[in-house]
Structure 1
Amino acid sequence: MFRNYIKVAWRNLKRQPFFTFLNTFGLALGMAGGILISLYIHSELSFDTMFKDADRIYRINADVKFGGTEQVFAEVSAPMAEAVQKDYPYIELTTRFRNNGSMLIRKRDESLNVKENGVAFTDSTFFKMFGIDLLHGDARTALTEPNTLVMTKTAAEKHFNLVNAVGQTLLMDNEFTYTVTGVIEDMPKNSFLRDHGVFMSMASYQDSRNGEWGNHNYPTFIKLRPDANIEGFQEYLNTVLGAYVIPWAQDYFPGITEAQFIAAGNHLLYDTIALTDIHLYSDRSAELSRNGSIQNVYILAVIAIFLIVLACVNFMNLSTAVSLKRAKEIGIRKTLGSNKAGLIRQFLTESGLISFISLLFSVLLATLVLPLFNELADTSIAIPFTNPYFWILLLISALLLGILSGSYPAFFMSKFVPAKVLKGSGKSNIGGSGIRNSLVVVQFTISIFLIVSTLIVFQQLKFIQNKDLGFSRDQVLVIEDVYSAGDQALSFKEEVQKLGSVKSASISSFLPTPSARTDSSFFIEGVMDQEHAINMQAWRVDHEYINTLGLEIIAGRDFDRQFVSDSTAIILNETAVKNMGVTPEEALGMRLKRNLGEGNQTLSTVIGVVKNFHFTSLKNDIASLSLSLGRDSDVMVAKLRAGSFSESIAQIERIWNDMAAEAPFAYYFMDESFNNTYQAEQRLGRIFMTFTLLSIIIACLGLFGLATFNAERRIKEIGIRKVLGASVGQITYKLSIDFLRLVGVAILVSLPLGWYAMAKWLESFSYRIEINIWVFVIATLLAIVISILTVSFQSIKAAMVNPTKSLRAE
């Protein structure tokens, strides 16, 4: 019997090729989109699950409020690991990292450096903590000694024959000699260490052995014993402030108590996050890699559901509409003895067949567009053709989709009354138009919602790109690793400044785009108590920094070589001055002491105040900042004049090669670095746009099919109207207006939903747009134009048919 169902289903599909194509193509588009998004979501959810005992590994976080500044760190103090290991008996292992960014590496017998990104110090427990096996070397001793390092396979292959890597020596940043003691596989692409290729022994890093509880520089991981629970460890963390931090602080604030610290409006809260939650749930300062967002996963999941719903609605709508053509077939079947259950099985077989055909096309479509999707989403997912679970899941999904999308048409058609449909009077009485109309409203509600969302996402991105950040990022070239020029760094800058294409140049390690950062506590002269501390970023810059980046001085002056005293001068931003409780003019001449317990007790005199500028993401408020003169030389920024940038870069590279030939010439433009800060939002915008277009195509397929069917069903009515004098325009209006009313209802439903959802999304930005009415006007006009174009083609075509053809049978 089932074979008969298949045979009859196949014949019916061939009998109506146009509607079969619309159903199949619509479902295939929805399923292909669902497959791609599902694979992406699976990749996001699988982050860090590959590590051994991942369910027992946690990272310790720190939430700090001190000196008027609130910060959330993915790092804690250096002594934290030793303290928890000693105090809490349920800790199996601890491991710290100290991110070092990039380094120049070369073999001692070679002159040319290779830049290695993703270098970090780590404890020797690293391998046991994460279950990492060495391809070469001994995990028990690989990172126990100072000046040793372990490299990933890819990093090692840049420098050595892989087998002979262990025992080789490397010169790091032209200064430090390290011995390679191990080689490991490359870090998985879906791990928090994916950007790292070199791990140096923590024993090499002197700072890691200090007892400083006030600095937060070490991402610290713990592995609990199998019989432990994280709640118990959290209770212990709540005691760390009183047990360790306050006694340490008493050396600088005699007599301070935990109660006084809290009463002053400060806090230091430690908590944990599971290793497998870091990628999607953590957005803190100093993450080891750029993380994703669970919010974006939810958004993409909703989009995938929308696509599947649109495809199912298409199928239901077209199937119930076309069923009117099969009314007499159903009547005859019932007259000859078919029961309702048999008809339902027949129609579900047809929907299942379409679903499985669509599945094949969807896999083909997903395979073809996967490279484009990977580029769009900045990922590297692959379709797991060899995984049997993938195919089982697809087949089950196709079966469920076939049942879901075919259930309403099947039950709808099985209810036809033979006496009515065989008389020829049943078409007008069969009904179902109310359900079809509701489904059209659902389709366009989803499509208009996505249009509104896309417009708002791109409007926010445009706002970010065009916002006055308080500094100049256009035509600013950033040259990396200037420190590798050694004593020639200043000469390099002077030679670059002589170029006619360069307005000005500055050397520093601090940029208002992602770069090295440090926080310090400052105290106004004579007021050394924690209630009056000012916590702020402390950037070391040169005399040309403010001019090169176009910062605006609103009080006082810039650094000046004519004033020798500027070596101890300091320039603050508006937020820092506000936290001091004075005006910019009042701040001039005030003296500040930096940090606690430093041997250098020199006071810094405020000589200027710069207008606030954004040096972190627009998701964050502008924090306090200080600028002082220093010799940090990680990068050089050069403000270029308008003209041929490629020629200017070539001139700078020639100067570089004369002064630092052993280091590669690496550069980027500051606006590119700024845009990279918002990669997640840019990806979301591109994905929104792509799948919004896909949803519109699916909705239009259904509307086009319904318009075609409607025109066919009313062909004789159209002929009579033309004979009685109706124009093509009048007939087109008559055929189109019902569909436009449905789109109007969809507009009324979708606009409030779109406003609410995007208002929630915008709340994650401290600086954001106001949702303007024109967004909804554009979305409304787009929906109306799209629906008119979709419906009017078939309506005009039907209105132009010669009435003698349509009425010949009457």
Structure 2
Amino acid sequence: MFRNYLKIAWRSLKKQPFFTFLNTFSLTIGIAGGMLISLYVYDELSFDKMFIDSDRIYRINADIKFGGAVMNIAETGAPMAGTILNDFSQVENVTRIRNRGSLLIRKSGTEENTKEDQVAFADSTLFDFFGINLLVGDSRTALTEPNTMVLTKTAAEKHFSINNALGQTLLVNNEDTYTVTGVMDDLPKNSLLRDHSLFMALAGYDDAQQMLWTSHNYFTFIKLIPGATIEDFKAPLHSMLEKYIFPYVQQFYPGITAESFAASGNYLRYSTIPLTDIHLHSNRHHELSANSSIQNVYILSFIGLFLIVLASVNFMNLSTAYSLKRAKEVGIRKTLGSDRSQLVWQFLTEAGLISFISLLMAVGIAVLALPFFNELSGKSMTLPFAAPYFWIILLSATILLSLFSGSYPAFFMSKFVAAKVLKGSGQSSIGGGGVRNSLVVFQFAISVILIVATLVVFQQLNFIQGKDLGYTKDQILVIDDVYATGNQIEAFKEEVQQLGQVANVSLSGYLPTPSFRQDNGFFKEGSTEQENALQMQNWQVDHDYISTLNMELIAGRDFDKRYPSDSTGMIINESALAILGLKPEEALGLRLSQDLGEENPDFYKVIGVVKNFHFESLREDIGALSLSLGSSSSTMAVRIKSGDFPNAIEGIASIWTKMAPGQPFNYRFMEDSFNRVYESEQKLGQIFMVFTVLSIMIACLGLFGLAAFNAQKRTKEIGIRKVLGASVGQITLRLTTDFLKMVGISILIAIPIGWYAMNKWLEDFTYRIEIGWSIFAYAAFLAIGIAILTVSYQSIKAAIKNPSQSLSTE
């Protein structure tokens, strides 16, 4: 029987090539799009699950309010890990990681350095804790000794073969010698350690041994014993404040207690987050690696689901619309003895056949599109053809899709009354128009929501690009690792300054693009109470910093080489003023110190106030910040005159080669560094655009088919209207208007949903656009324009047909 169903289904599909093409093509697009999005979502949800005992691993977070600053950070103090291991019976093991940033390394006895961008210090427990096996070396002892390191396979191969790696020595930043004690495989791309190429031993790193409870620099991970729950750990974790934190802080604030700390509005709270939740549920200051957002996963999951649903809706719509052509077939089958269940199975078989053909075509399209999608999403995904579960999921999904798509048309057509359809009254008795119209409304409502979302994302990105940041990011060339010039740093700066293409130069490791920086507590002279603390960042800059970045002073003056006293001068920003409760002019001459508890503290004197500038992403408020003169020579900012970038870079490179032979010349543009902060939003916007186009394409295919059917169904009506004097334009307008009404209803439904959804997305940004009426006007105009283009072809084709042919049609 099934073979008979299949044979008839194939014949029926061949009889209606236009209908078959529309259904197959739209389902193919929907399945291929859903498949790609499913790969993306699976990859996002799989982060860090490859580590042993990942379900028992948690990270300790800290939420702090102090000195007017609110900090939600992913790090804790150095002593936290060891104390937890000693005091908490629920904890099996702990490990710490401290980001080091980038460094230059070279094999001892060679001159050429290579740069490693992501380097970290780590405890000796790191590899056993996460279950990371070393290709060579002992994971238990690899980082137990000072000045030892473990490299990834890729990093190690830059210097020596893997088998000869153990015992080799590397010179770090031209100063410190480290011994290679292990080589590990490259870390998975869906792990929080993916960006790190080199781990150095925390053993021997002085800061890691200090009892600095309030200096939060270490990512601290705990692994619970089997059977323990995180709830068992949380209450004892809070007790550490009374037992360790406040006794330590009382060295600096003798009278501080938990009660007085809370009464001043300050707080310090520790919390935990599961390892496997970090990538999608954590967005704190100084994350170990760039995280994504669960919101993006939800959004893309809905898009993937909607693509398949839209394609299924097309099948339902076109199948019920074309049921008029098959009404007599159903009547004859029923007359010859077919019962309703047999007809249902026949139509479901047709749906299954179309779904299966679409599945095969979708797999081919997904294979071709995957490299492009990987580039778009920044991932390295592959289709797991060798995995049985992949094919089981695909076949199961195809069966479900067949049932979902084909069930309504099957039950709809199988209930036709044989006597009526064989008498020729099928057209008036078939019905289903209300359901078809509702499905068209649903399709276009989804498409309009996606259009609104795409427009909002790109408008927010344009807002970010055009926002006045308080400094100039254009035409700023940033040269990294300037310390590689040794004691010729100042000479290097002076020679670069002499280049005709260069407008200004500044040496500082602190630039107003997000990076790893710390806040420090400052106090006004004569005031050491914790209630009066000022928590702010302190950047070490040179005399040319403000002028190079075109920052604006609103009070006082810039650093000046004519005044030796500026070595203890300080320039603060407006946010610091707000916390101090002072006006710009009132702050000048104010003396601030961070040497709390010392007999003879050093003071900075405020000589200027700089207008607030964005040094974090636009998701964050501008915090308190100060600038002071100091030696921080990791980077150089060079402002280049318009149009001279190639010659300027060539000239700087020539000076570098002369002063730092054998050292890599690494440079970047500040604008690119700024844009990388919003890379995830840019990728999301591009993904939105691609799948919005696909959803519109699917909706248009359905509308195109319905328009063709509608024109065919109304052939005689059109002929009569033409005979009675109706013009082509009038007929076209009448045929088109019916569909535009449905599109209009779709727009009315989509606008409030799109507004609500994108307002929730924008809540992640402190500085954001307001969703204005123009976005919805553009979305509506685009939807209506697409609908008109889709329907007008069939409408015009029907309107220009010779009325004599129309009236003779049966």
Per the normalisation by structure 2, the TM-score is: 0.99
**Offset of residue 242 of structure 1:** 1.1
The answer to whether residue 572 in structure 2 is matched with residue 572 in structure 1 is yes
State how many pairs are aligned. 810
* Dislocated runs of 4+, deviation >3 Å: 595-600
How far apart are the structure 1 equivalents of 2:108 and 2:601? 41
Report the 3-state secondary structure (helix = DSSP H, G, I; strand = E; otherwise coil) of the residue aligned with 1:255. Answer: coil
Q: 1:518 to 1:595 in 2, by over 3 A?
A: farther
- Corresponding residue for residue 539 of structure 2: 539
Q: Is the 8 A contact 2:90 2:232 kept in 1?
A: no
Report the 3-state secondary structure (helix = DSSP H, G, I; strand = E; otherwise coil) of the residue aligned with 1:429. Answer: helix
The answer to whether residue 68 in structure 2 is matched with residue 68 in structure 1 is yes
Q: Is the 8 A contact 2:595 2:601 kept in 1?
A: no
Letter matched to residue 172 of structure 1: V
How far apart are the structure 2 equivalents of 1:751 and 1:514? 35
How far apart are the structure 1 equivalents of 2:84 and 2:679? 36
Q: 1:548 to 1:804 in 2, by over 3 A?
A: same
How far apart are the structure 2 equivalents of 1:681 and 1:744? 30
- Corresponding residue for residue 100 of structure 1: 100
- Corresponding residue for residue 756 of structure 2: 756
- Corresponding residue for residue 594 of structure 1: 594
Letter matched to residue 654 of structure 1: S
Letter matched to residue 6 of structure 1: L
Q: Is the 8 A contact 1:95 1:220 kept in 2?
A: yes
Q: Is the 8 A contact 2:517 2:537 kept in 1?
A: yes
Report the 3-state secondary structure (helix = DSSP H, G, I; strand = E; otherwise coil) of the residue aligned with 2:428. Answer: coil
Report the 3-state secondary structure (helix = DSSP H, G, I; strand = E; otherwise coil) of the residue aligned with 1:427. Answer: helix
Letter matched to residue 635 of structure 2: V
The answer to whether residue 285 in structure 2 is matched with residue 285 in structure 1 is yes
- Corresponding residue for residue 472 of structure 2: 472
Alignment of structure 1 residues 29-178 onto 2, 5 Å: 29-178=29-178
How far apart are the structure 2 equivalents of 1:752 and 1:788? 23
- Corresponding residue for residue 493 of structure 2: 493
Report the 3-state secondary structure (helix = DSSP H, G, I; strand = E; otherwise coil) of the residue aligned with 2:513. Answer: coil
Alignment of structure 1 residues 230-629 onto 2, 5 Å: 230-596=230-596, 601-629=601-629
How far apart are the structure 2 equivalents of 1:202 and 1:748? 60
**Offset of residue 227 of structure 1:** 2.5
- Corresponding residue for residue 27 of structure 1: 27
Q: Is the 8 A contact 2:595 2:602 kept in 1?
A: no
Letter matched to residue 326 of structure 1: R
Letter matched to residue 44 of structure 1: E
Q: Is the 8 A contact 2:261 2:267 kept in 1?
A: yes
**Offset of residue 465 of structure 1:** 0.7
Further displaced range: 639-648 or 174-183: 639-648
Q: Is the 8 A contact 1:509 1:516 kept in 2?
A: no
Q: 1:514 to 1:598 in 2, by over 3 A?
A: farther
Q: 1:597 to 1:114 in 2, by over 3 A?
A: farther
- Corresponding residue for residue 692 of structure 2: 692
Report the 3-state secondary structure (helix = DSSP H, G, I; strand = E; otherwise coil) of the residue aligned with 1:623. Answer: coil
Q: Is the 8 A contact 1:593 1:601 kept in 2?
A: yes
**Offset of residue 595 of structure 1:** 4.4
- Corresponding residue for residue 789 of structure 1: 789
**Offset of residue 437 of structure 1:** 0.5
Letter matched to residue 80 of structure 2: M
Q: Is the 8 A contact 1:718 1:803 kept in 2?
A: yes
How far apart are the structure 1 equivalents of 2:595 and 2:427? 86
Letter matched to residue 296 of structure 1: N
Report the 3-state secondary structure (helix = DSSP H, G, I; strand = E; otherwise coil) of the residue aligned with 2:673. Answer: helix
How far apart are the structure 1 equivalents of 2:17 and 2:778? 36
Alignment of structure 1 residues 624-703 onto 2, 5 Å: 624-703=624-703
- Corresponding residue for residue 772 of structure 2: 772
How far apart are the structure 2 equivalents of 1:741 and 1:522? 65
**Offset of residue 602 of structure 1:** 1.0
Q: Is the 8 A contact 1:520 1:595 kept in 2?
A: no
How far apart are the structure 1 equivalents of 2:767 and 2:273? 28
How far apart are the structure 2 equivalents of 1:808 and 1:581? 89
Report the 3-state secondary structure (helix = DSSP H, G, I; strand = E; otherwise coil) of the residue aligned with 1:450. Answer: helix
How far apart are the structure 2 equivalents of 1:472 and 1:661? 31
**Offset of residue 414 of structure 1:** 0.5
**Offset of residue 122 of structure 1:** 0.4
Q: 1:349 to 1:600 in 2, by over 3 A?
A: farther
How far apart are the structure 1 equivalents of 2:126 and 2:781? 58
How far apart are the structure 1 equivalents of 2:35 and 2:602? 63
Further displaced range: 352-361 or 593-602: 593-602
**Offset of residue 808 of structure 1:** 3.1
How far apart are the structure 2 equivalents of 1:730 and 1:573? 67
**Offset of residue 662 of structure 1:** 2.3
Report the 3-state secondary structure (helix = DSSP H, G, I; strand = E; otherwise coil) of the residue aligned with 2:631. Answer: coil
Q: Is the 8 A contact 2:314 2:702 kept in 1?
A: yes
Letter matched to residue 155 of structure 1: A
Note the alpha carbon deviations across 1:110-135, whole angstroms, 9 max, x for none.
00100012111100001110011111
Q: Which runs of 5+ in 1 are unaligned?
A: none
How far apart are the structure 2 equivalents of 1:735 and 1:682? 40
- Corresponding residue for residue 194 of structure 2: 194
How far apart are the structure 1 equivalents of 2:236 and 2:584? 44
Note the alpha carbon deviations across 1:146-198, whole angstroms, 9 max, x for none.
00011111110011111000100000000000000011111111000000011
How far apart are the structure 2 equivalents of 1:57 and 1:268? 23
**Offset of residue 736 of structure 1:** 1.1
**Offset of residue 809 of structure 1:** 4.6
Note the alpha carbon deviations across 1:349-376, whole angstroms, 9 max, x for none.
0001101111011111111111111111
**Offset of residue 139 of structure 1:** 1.7
Q: 1:600 to 1:378 in 2, by over 3 A?
A: farther
- Corresponding residue for residue 184 of structure 2: 184
Q: Is the 8 A contact 2:286 2:516 kept in 1?
A: no
Report the 3-state secondary structure (helix = DSSP H, G, I; strand = E; otherwise coil) of the residue aligned with 1:97. Answer: strand
Note the alpha carbon deviations across 1:504-563, whole angstroms, 9 max, x for none.
010111111023312110000000110100000111000000111111000000000000
Q: Which runs of 5+ in 2 are unaligned?
A: none
Letter matched to residue 458 of structure 1: F
Note the alpha carbon deviations across 1:278-308, whole angstroms, 9 max, x for none.
1111111111110111011011011111111
Alignment of structure 1 residues 205-224 onto 2, 5 Å: 205-224=205-224
- Corresponding residue for residue 740 of structure 1: 740
Report the 3-state secondary structure (helix = DSSP H, G, I; strand = E; otherwise coil) of the residue aligned with 1:631. Answer: coil
How far apart are the structure 1 equivalents of 2:215 and 2:535? 12
Q: 1:178 to 1:499 in 2, by over 3 A?
A: same
Letter matched to residue 274 of structure 2: A
Further displaced range: 129-138 or 594-603: 594-603
**Offset of residue 485 of structure 1:** 1.0
Give the alignment's Cα RMSD to 1 decimal: 1.0
Q: Is the 8 A contact 2:320 2:432 kept in 1?
A: yes
How far apart are the structure 1 equivalents of 2:298 and 2:166? 45
Per the normalisation by structure 1, the TM-score is: 0.99
Note the alpha carbon deviations across 1:589-620, whole angstroms, 9 max, x for none.
01001143579721000000000011001111
Q: Is the 8 A contact 1:509 1:515 kept in 2?
A: no
**Offset of residue 762 of structure 1:** 0.9
Report the 3-state secondary structure (helix = DSSP H, G, I; strand = E; otherwise coil) of the residue aligned with 1:511. Answer: coil
Q: Is the 8 A contact 2:528 2:596 kept in 1?
A: no
Q: Is the 8 A contact 1:38 1:304 kept in 2?
A: yes
Letter matched to residue 778 of structure 2: I
- Corresponding residue for residue 717 of structure 1: 717
**Offset of residue 805 of structure 1:** 2.0
**Offset of residue 807 of structure 1:** 2.5
How far apart are the structure 1 equivalents of 2:122 and 2:539? 26
How far apart are the structure 2 equivalents of 1:661 and 1:571? 37
Report the 3-state secondary structure (helix = DSSP H, G, I; strand = E; otherwise coil) of the residue aligned with 2:746. Answer: helix
How far apart are the structure 2 equivalents of 1:521 and 1:301? 44
Q: Is the 8 A contact 1:510 1:516 kept in 2?
A: no
